[in-house]
Chains A and B, each alone.
Chain A
Amino acid sequence: MDKPDKARLDAAFTELYKAHLRDVYSYAYYRVGNHHDAEDLTEQTFLQAYRHFERAQAESDGRPLRPWLIRIAHNLAANLYRDRSRRPQTPLDDTTMLSAMHTTEDLVEGRDELARIIAGIQKLPDERRDALIMRFALGMDNREIARAMGKTDGATKVLLHRAIKQLEGIVTPA
Chain B
Amino acid sequence: MTPDAGPMEFERMLRMALAPVDPPESLQTRVETTLQELTDAAVDELEGWELSAMRDPRNWVRPAAAAVVGASAGTALVVLRVRQQQRRRAAQSRNPLDLAQRTLRAAAGEARKLARRD
- Chain A contact surface mostly: helix
Interface size on B, residues (CB 8 A): 40
The docked-state distance in angstroms from the alpha carbon of A42 to that of B34 is: 12
Q: B30–A133 contact, CB under 8 A?
A: no
Tell me if A42 and B20 are in contact (CB < 8 A): no
Q: Whole-angstrom distance from the CB of B79 to the nearest CB of chain A?
A: 13
Q: Is the CB of A51 within 8 A of B74?
A: yes
B20-41 near A? 1/0 per residue, CB < 8 Å: 1111101110111011001100
Number of A-B contacts (CB under 8 A): 119
**A30 to B19 Cα, complex, angstroms:** 10
Q: A73 — which chain B residues lie within 8 A by C-beta?
A: none
Check: B13 CB closer than 8 A to any chain A CB: yes
Contact between B35 and A46, CB atoms less than 8 A apart:
yes
Q: Return the 9 tightest CB-CB contacts between A and B, nearest first.
A: A25-B23, A137-B18, A117-B17, A136-B18, A1-B71, A26-B20, A26-B21, A29-B21, A114-B17
Known A42-B23, A102-B16, A102-B19; 19 more pairs at CB < 8 Å: A1-B72, A3-B43, A22-B20, A23-B20, A30-B21, A39-B23, A42-B27, A54-B72, A106-B16, A109-B16, A110-B16, A113-B17, A117-B1, A121-B18, A132-B18, A133-B18, A136-B11, A136-B15, A136-B17
